[in-house]
A and B are shown apart, each in its own frame.
Chain A
């Protein structure tokens, strides 16, 4: 078991019970390094854009003054020493708030909101002139954003929401792809940020589709099998009362792709009470497949999402009751586990290959 988990348990034990609920998830979210799949935080990945030499566009549907405003946002981020991911979060936020236009009006929820970031007249965001100035308003946005701790382990849309405190935490994700295109396009450099990751912790990772057979099934992870399904002896009682309720697959090791075995609806996605990551996909007919041990940052779907066979839904991790990165894959029928191997064989998939 990695050292950080032992530390976590000690830390949690020391925290009064009331606080645990609020603090636990933050600790857990911060418990794995996600820096490897994001551009370096800070100025080493900063991008620069000459505000006076911005092309007319369009880029991702934005042009003219909108792109100039994006350049001001990127410049404000650079001047604060922020890296490319943070700069792009600024552009994404301004797209979501104002369409990269310095608006001289607010909206129903905030009639006093103004400017690129729709900053309210509540004393937190400076004067009217400040809020209407693209560079100053972006600077004030970033200064507030820099108060959001551990940004490397949070999704871009969540970082934006914890800065803006708007009513829909997932709202900004829809603007991420355009923000990446604008920042890359205006700066002329490839930031390494990937489209499709506005609601994911890992902004530089690529998703790999799995192979789907003629029956509409896919293997949940690459082999080999490292432990099979079956009853185990309880070390205390000596009785066969413990169930290894799934098949363990190496699945490419840490960060390897985990694929939905079949079309279905995500019915659980998050951390179990022991801190282990769990995704459950309901396929109908009483059949649910489950995928265990991902870190929070490696869970790429949310409850209610419709997923398709072979869609990458997670990255392999080592959370919960686990001693090394692997995928524990379960098949449940009417709420009870069955051996996944013969079930998958019936679906045309041989696990471990």
Chain B
């Protein structure tokens, strides 16, 4: 999309003013309604205002128009609005701790043949992890059993969880991810306790 020059100029003016208010007030709330700048309503996007919510440096997001539902992303083939946006709720937490326990239970089977071990483990892993963990000899896995409850230790993204799981050789840290709110949790990484490679 090419913007008409006039619109760009109007946006630039709004920008300068926004930058001034942001400089004077940090990134504290700068309601666009109180801004002295006005932008033609015909502009493809209103002059963006700097951030609002508390301590973050995040621009106020509700001033931007989301892509229409049903539009197809040319680069990824995704359909806008088709993916459920994940959030952290009780069901998500229960699902990810269960997934972590399941994958580590499948992983910590040094007694199994490779084929038996990998058949159980592979579907629980992300595509990248499938590539990397395919070369593990299960005989080299030090853990033999999960011995306690999984605990989420990092939920900074609703798409990703860092989960600790106790085993007979110490506490493993797992990274799991989900591609959207309705997708299964898949394991990205299974890191043994220090000293137990």
Give chain A's interface residues, CB within 8 Å of chain B.
Answer: 21-22, 25-26, 96, 107-110, 158, 161-162, 164-171, 214-217, 228-232, 241-246, 262, 264-274, 276, 278, 280, 282-287, 292-293, 302-304, 306, 320-322, 328, 333-339, 341-343, 345-348
If A304-B177, A336-B81 are given as contacts, then 6 extra A-B residue pairs at C-beta distance below 8 Å, sorted by A number, are: A109-B142, A165-B137, A282-B158, A286-B61, A292-B76, A336-B69
Query: Roughly how many angstroms separate A80 CA and B84 CA in the complex, as a whole number?
Result: 54
* Given contact pairs A110-B140, A338-B67, A282 touches B74 in the complex (Cβ within 8 A): no
User: How far is it, in angstroms, between the C-alpha of A234 and the C-alpha of B14 when the chains are bound?
Assistant: 34
Chain B CB within 10 A, most for which of A110, A334, A336: A336
Nearest chain B CB to A334 CB, angstrom units = 5
User: Judging by beta carbons under 8 Å apart, are A169 and B57 in contact?
Assistant: no
User: In the complex, what residue of chain A is closest to B132 when comparing beta carbons?
Assistant: A169
**Across the two chains, which residue of chain A brings its CB closest to B162?**
A304
Which 5 A-B pairs rank lowest in CB-CB distance, beginning with the nearest?
A: A230-B1, A346-B48, A346-B59, A267-B159, A282-B157
Residues of B within 8 A of A26 (CB): 131
Q: How far is the CA of A266 from the CA of B192 in the complex (A)?
A: 21
Query: B94 contacts the other chain (Cβ, under 8 Å)?
Result: no
B188 touches A338 (CB 8 A): no
Question: How far apart are the CA atoms of A123 and B45 in the complex, in Å?
Answer: 69
Report the bound CA distance from A230 to B44 in whole Å.
10
Q: Is there contact, CB below 8 Å, between A109 and B67?
A: no
Name the interface residues of B42-67: CB closer than 8 Å to any CB of A: 44-51, 53, 56-61, 63-67
Give the CA-CA distance A107 to B169 in the complex, in Å: 12
In the complex, what distance in Å separates the CA atom of A265 from the CA atom of B74? 25
Do residues A245 and B74 form an inter-chain contact, with CB atoms below 8 A?
yes
B5 on interface, CB distance cutoff 8 Å: no
* Cβ–Cβ contact B19 & A284, under 8 A: no
Contact with A along B115-146 (1 / 0, CB 8 A): 00000000000111011111111011110000
Q: Which residue of chain A lies nearest to B177 when distances are taken between CB atoms in the complex?
A: A303
Residue of B nearest to A227 (CB): B1
Structural contact, B197 and A167, CB atoms closer than 8 A: yes
What is the number of residues of chain B that contact chain A, defined by CB distance less than 8 Å?
80
B57's contact among A168, A242, A341, A347, by CB below 8 Å, is which? A347
A29–B190 CA distance with the chains assembled, in angstroms: 22
- The answer to whether A345 touches B160 (Cβ under 8 A) is no
Name the contact of A265 in the complex, choosing from B75, B157, B180 (C-beta under 8 A).
Answer: B157
Q: Does B95 contact A (CB under 8 A)?
A: no
When the two chains form their complex, are residues A168 and B190 in contact, meaning their CB atoms are under 8 A apart? yes
Query: Would you call B113 an interface residue if the criterion is a C-beta within 8 Å of the partner chain's C-beta atoms?
Result: no
Q: Are A231 and B71 in contact (CB under 8 A)?
A: yes
Question: How far is B64's CA from A337's CA once the two chains are assembled, in angstroms?
Answer: 10
CA distance A211 to B180 in the complex (A): 31
B67 touches A337 (CB 8 A): yes
B110 shortest CB reach to chain A, Å: 7
Contact A215 B136 (CB under 8 A): no
Which A-chain residue is minimally distant from B128 (CB atoms)? A270
**Quick check: A243 and B71 within 8 Å, CB to CB?**
yes
- B22 within 8 A of partner (CB): yes
Q: Which residues of B contact A345 (CB under 8 A)?
A: 11, 15, 18, 48
* Bound form: Cα–Cα A304–B46 in Å: 34
**Knowing A267-B159, A346-B18 touch, does A168 contact B76 (C-beta < 8 A)?**
no
Assess the A348–B19 pair: CB atoms within 8 A. yes
Q: Which of A264, A338, A348 has the most CB of B within 10 A?
A: A348
Which residues in B have their C-beta under 8 angstroms from that of A217? 57
**Given A215-B22, A280-B159, A243 contacting B49 (CB threshold 8 A):** no
Among B18, B46, B70, B140, chain A packs the most CB atoms within 10 A around the CB of: B140
Cβ contacts under 8 Å, A264 to chain B: 157
State whether A333 and B131 are in contact (beta carbons under 8 Å apart), knowing that A109-B139, A215-B51, A348-B19 are contacts in the complex. no
B47 vs chain A, min Cβ distance (A): 8
Closest residue of B by beta carbon distance from A243: B71
Are B64 and A338 neighbours in the complex by a CB distance under 8 Å?
yes
28 A-B residue pairs with Cβ-Cβ distance under 8 Å, sorted by A, are A22-B134, A25-B131, A26-B131, A108-B142, A161-B135, A166-B137, A167-B136, A167-B141, A170-B191, A241-B72, A245-B75, A264-B157, A267-B177, A268-B177, A286-B85, A302-B128, A303-B126, A303-B177, A304-B175, A304-B177, A334-B66, A335-B180, A336-B67, A339-B45, A342-B47, A346-B51, A347-B59, A348-B22
